Amino acid sequence: MKVRILNHPLINLYMTTLRSKNTQSTKFRYLARKISSLMVFEIFKDLNVFPNTIETPLEKYDGVKLNDPKPCIISILRAGLIMSEGITDIFDEVSIGHIGMYRDEKTLKPVNYIKKLPSDLNNRQCYLCDPMLATGGSAVSAINTLKEHSASNIKLICLLASDPGIKKVQDNFPEVEIICAQKDDKLNENGFIIPGLGDAGDRTFET
């Protein structure tokens, strides 16, 4: 299944407060980070681990370990930062990359301004953090950037996705799995998710 909507009662509880127009920036940051942390167990459900035998104080134990290269968390700046922080609060044995872009408010298309990625993405599990999958333009652009750097195993992680955004990603990259906390059906004329939660970047950084 290429789209996983978590629909967990605890996540839904926090998402309700996150969506509220009365939630101030400090609380918004706290909740976005906490929700991202709660998503970790689903995000890394398919984490590549390998057999590893260790010695406990009593005897041998057949456990697991990570092999290099480590998984990579890629944030779409700015708002993706809060998600990567929440994820690495729980699991920090990762490399971290950043793709900076903003949405042109007239064309609604993404504009790239920075790209800092680890090497050897072709051998890594890549987790792309984009809190809002609205039109899908930013996600598609970022996935294209990762593929230009030979990434082949990509998951898109979102707090909130829209049906049009999901469709755009699936139409362009049917192999990319989307994992989101919640999903809304539609967008307004300005490309914002409805009912949504507003602009995640502005609400996170109080801009």
103 is catalytic: yes
* Catalytically annotated residue among 103, 124, 135, 204: 103
* Catalytically annotated residue among 46, 92, 171, 202: 202
Residue in the structure block whose two tokens are 């609604």 = 108
120 is catalytic: no
* Catalytically annotated residue among 23, 88, 163, 199: 199
Residue 131: closest CA among 179, 163, 189, 190: 179
* Catalytically annotated residue among 89, 104, 107, 171: 107
Which residues sit opposite 103 in a β-bridge? Answer: 110
199 is catalytic: yes
Q: Which residues contact 127 (CB under 8 A, 6 or more apart)?
A: 43, 71, 72, 73, 74, 87, 154, 155, 157
**Measured between alpha carbons, how far is residue 79 from residues 17, 39, 82, 135, 201 in Å?**
18, 16, 6, 16, 4
The residues assigned a catalytic role are 103, 107, 199, 202
